[in-house]
Structure formats: structure tokens, C-alpha cells
Amino acid sequence: MITVEKALNIILANSRQLELEKTVILHAKGCVIGENIIAGRNIPPADNSAMDGYALRCADTRGATGKNPLFFKIIEEIPAGKIPRKKLKKGEASRIMTGAVIPDGADAIVRQEDARATGKTLAVHAPVKKNTDIRFAGEDVRKGELVISKGTPLTAAHIGMLASLGKKNVRVHRRPRVAIMATGNELVDIKTEPPPGKIVNSNSYSLAAQVLDCGGIPTIMSITKDRKSALQKKFTSALHHDVIISSGGVSVGDYDLVKDVMKEMGNTMRFWRVAMRPGKPLAFGSIKGVPLFGLPGNPVSSMVSFEQFVRPYLLKIQGHKNIFRRTIKAVSAQQIEKSAGVKHFLRAFVKKTKNSCVASLTGAQGSGILKSMVVANALIVLDAKETKIKKGEKVTVQLLDDSLFKTDSYSSS
């Protein structure tokens, strides 16, 4: 049996980054970009108006007041998308819309609400300063500028930026194809009403959702019986994936055959059993070069093991640098006792209070109690050597989502 830290080191040391592939930008959200993006054009491409109003020469507005407006001749209308045809001369103005190109000769915009047009005549009631409401060519992005660096995970804003630079495709680390295999004679498919003695395979679904959550492409394979030949066949049929995740059949029971089959198929078994709860009987290795995570069958164990080991692995092979969940300190809402020697991951709900965060257990902690995960937003992580946490004591919690930082009220501060 090895420690969680050692297991994680072995897993990450055995990871190989996935190659780059060209993909349409919309499919690249969340992926890590494998190239530097240098702007091939200015954004915006030309000086343009930030407002609906009138383009004019600011010097001509000097001295304008509400009582004594200054008058301009409107010589042209410039909607967005049209090129101005006329150069402005003294005392002239052009009607202009937001986003339209500034005509030659103009150096300011008077907003529509600060002027009054009657036919072709414009009355301006206040002076405007030079450059008012003009957006300059290249003020967002300058041609030649490095806009997105290689190694950046792409957000919606990056996708928009790529579009505005005219990049339809981008090179990113490709998403891993992940085979998900449930093993167990007691399992039936979700479409079947389970007969006596059987249960529905839920692990494949929670695992597939977890894979999607970290950018992978899951394939749920059909349920495999606890028979060596069946397991061998199923593993063989999954070898075209980047990663295989199985659940169940890795413990010490008579029908726990996954490890044996892994060995018989020439697996390089890196480790079996990790000093943690839930999730002790975890096997990691590879079959014909394809990494294989043999996760335990209990629904909570399978999810928690995925969180600790598979998630960082999948993120790493996609080129992510930040591969671990955020951990914070929280006050334990209750006394917790545990046995020494094994690291614990207890399902908890963490709430913000005025001065700190408080972590409460989400009920019974059995590894078959999936509900404890359903209501959890965090895991309380207790080191192997710890045996007792007093109520009010600080504990480390690993946040499983960002619900702690979400609120129903908007604050601009």
C-alpha cells in the first residue's frame, strides 16, 4: 500500500502530453492552446465613433453654449460599415453612427443628445474636446502584438478574440478519448429495471460526467461480467482510447479479477492499493501502453479516486498547468474521529460565514452513500496521522466546485 502523494507522483510521472491538433475555435473552449497568437491586424481596424452623434472639428465648437449654440452644416451620413466619402471642412459635420469610420478632417464626436439637428443644420450647445468619443485603430489590439500565449487554457473571451482576428481554427492539445468500463455481475444497464440482486450501473455515468468536466471525451462501454475472459475482451476492445477507466473488481474478493487480468495482459502494474478512505483498492498501470485506472466499485470511492488521481492526470496530458482543486482552510462544524494510517476524504458542504468558512459533513460517510457526494461541494482532507478533529478546529478542504464563491447578489467591488 502506498500513500496518496506517492500514488499521485507515479501517475503524473507516467503521463505524456497529448499532441496538438487543429480545431475550429468553438470546440477549443477549455483546451490549452499550443501556439502563440500574434495579431495579424489592428483591432479596431480604423478610427471609429464610440457613439451615435456627429463628427466635426473640435476647434469649431469653441464658445458654444446653451444660449448661444454654434451651427454646422451636415454634409454626409455615415452608418457603420460605410466608408466616409467627404472630408470635413470648417463649420461642417457628418452624421455618424457607433462603429462607423471617422471621416477625414474630423477630430471629435458630439453625442446625439448634446446637439440638435434640423434638416441639414446642426446646433451644438457645448464645446467638445479633441478625440472625444473616438476609438482609435489598434487601441484594443495592435498588429504584431502577442495576444494569447502558448499554454493558455482558452476561455470564451479568448474564443471571441480569435474570431475578431479572423482565426477560424486554432492548434490546441487534443481532448483525451476515455473508455469507461463498469465491471460486476450484479450490474444492469440504466434501461433495465433491476431484478432482485441487481443494481443499476451508476459509476459509468458519474465517471463520464467527471471526464467531460475536465475536457475529455468519454465512451461508456457495455457492462463487463466478473469473468477473466470477458474482462480481457473488453480491455482489448478499449485499447484505441487514450485512457481506460474501469470501476469495480479491484478489491480482494473472489470475483475481483481486474488486477489479475491487467497482469495477464502484460500490464505494467505501477501500484495497487492506496492508503486512503474512501478508495483504497485502486490499481494503476497500463495495457499495451494505454494507461489504465482500475477504480474501486463503490460509487463514492470511484468518484473520489477520480478526483484525486484521474482528474489531475487528464488535465496534465491536455497541457494544463493548474491541475489540482483549490484547497482552503475551514472550521470543522463537528468533531471527527478517524483511524490513523489512512488519509481521509470526507464529503462536506462548505459555507462562508462572516469571518471564515465552515465545513459540515454531508451525512453518513459510507463509500456506498452517493448522496453524501450529491450534497457536497468539498472534501475535508485529513492526513493519515490525524485521529481526532475537535469541533471548531481548522481543517483543510478541497473545493469540488466554485459554489462557495457564487452569490445571488451583484457586487461591483
Q: Which residues contribute to the site for ligand AMP (CB under 6 A)?
A: 182, 184, 186-187, 199, 201-204, 247-249, 251, 253, 256, 296-299
Least distance from C-beta 145 to ligand AMP, angstroms? 51
Nearest to ligand AMP of 328, 369 (CB atom):
369
Nearest to ligand AMP of 110, 258 (CB atom):
258
Residue 294 interacts, among Mg ion, ligand AMP, none and using kind-specific CB cut-offs from 5 to 8 Å, with: none
Please identify, among the stretches 297-305, 340-348, 365-373, 397-405, the one whose residues bind Mg ion according to the rule CB under 5 A: 297-305
Nearest to ligand AMP of 220, 331 (CB atom):
220
Please identify, among the stretches 50-58, 96-104, 243-251, 391-399, the one whose residues bind Mg ion according to the rule CB under 5 A: 243-251
Least distance from C-beta 141 to ligand AMP, angstroms? 49
Least distance from C-beta 6 to ligand AMP, angstroms? 22
Answer yes or no: are the C-beta atoms of 228 and 235 closer than 8 Å.
no
- Copy the grid coordinates of residue 150: 502558448
Residue 298 interacts, among Mg ion, ligand AMP, none and using kind-specific CB cut-offs from 5 to 8 Å, with: ligand AMP
Tell me if 248 contacts Mg ion by CB under 5 A.
Answer: yes
**Residue located via cell numbers 470648417:** 90
**Of residues 129-188, those binding Mg ion (CB under 5 A):** 184
Please identify, among the stretches 33-41, 117-125, 169-177, 249-257, the one whose residues bind Mg ion according to the rule CB under 5 A: 249-257
Q: What would the 3-class secondary structure string for the chain be?
A: CECHHHHHHHHHHCCCCCCEEEEEHHHHCCCEECCCEECCCCECCCCEECCCEEEECHHHHCCCCCCCCEEEEEEEEECCCCCCCCCCCCCEEEEECCCCECCCCCCEEEEHHHEEEECCEEEECCCCCCCCCEECCCCCECCCCEEECCCCECCHHHHHHHHHCCCCEEEEECCCEEEEEEECCCEECCCCCCCCCCEECCHHHHHHHHHHHCCCEEEECCCECCCHHHHHHHHHHCCCCCEEEEECCCCCCCCCCHHHHHHHCCCCCCEECECEECCCCCEEEEECCEEEEEECCCHHHHHHHHHHHHHHHHHHHCCCCCCCCCEEEEEECCCEECCCCCEEEEEEEEEECCCCEEEEECCCCCCCCCHHHHCCCEEEEECCCCCEECCCCEEEEEECCCHHHCCCCCCCC
Amino acid at 54: Y
Tell me if 103 contacts Mg ion by CB under 5 A.
Answer: no
Least distance from C-beta 199 to ligand AMP, angstroms? 6
Tell which residue, 184, 190, 187, 209, has the closest CA to residue 198: 187
Least distance from C-beta 263 to ligand AMP, angstroms? 17
Tell me if 249 contacts Mg ion by CB under 5 A.
Answer: yes
Tell which residue, 256, 257, 243, 248, has the closest CA to residue 279: 248
Least distance from C-beta 166 to ligand AMP, angstroms? 47
Nearest to ligand AMP of 95, 259 (CB atom):
259
Residue 267 interacts, among Mg ion, ligand AMP, none and using kind-specific CB cut-offs from 5 to 8 Å, with: none
Residue 199 interacts, among ligand AMP, Mg ion, none and using kind-specific CB cut-offs from 5 to 8 Å, with: ligand AMP
**Of residues 304-363, those binding Mg ion (CB under 5 A):** none
Answer yes or no: are the C-beta atoms of 332 and 305 closer than 8 Å.
no
Cis peptide before 44 (omega within 30 of 0): yes
Residue 208 Cα to chain centre, angstroms = 16
Tell me if 294 contacts Mg ion by CB under 5 A.
Answer: no
Least distance from C-beta 182 to ligand AMP, angstroms? 4
Nearest to ligand AMP of 94, 203 (CB atom):
203
Nearest to ligand AMP of 41, 225 (CB atom):
225
Nearest to Mg ion of 184, 216 (CB atom):
184
Residue 307 interacts, among ligand AMP, Mg ion, none and using kind-specific CB cut-offs from 5 to 8 Å, with: none
Nearest to Mg ion of 34, 249 (CB atom):
249
Least distance from C-beta 370 to ligand AMP, angstroms? 8
Least distance from C-beta 272 to Mg ion, angstroms? 15
Binding footprint of Mg ion on the chain (CB under 5 A): 184, 248-249, 297
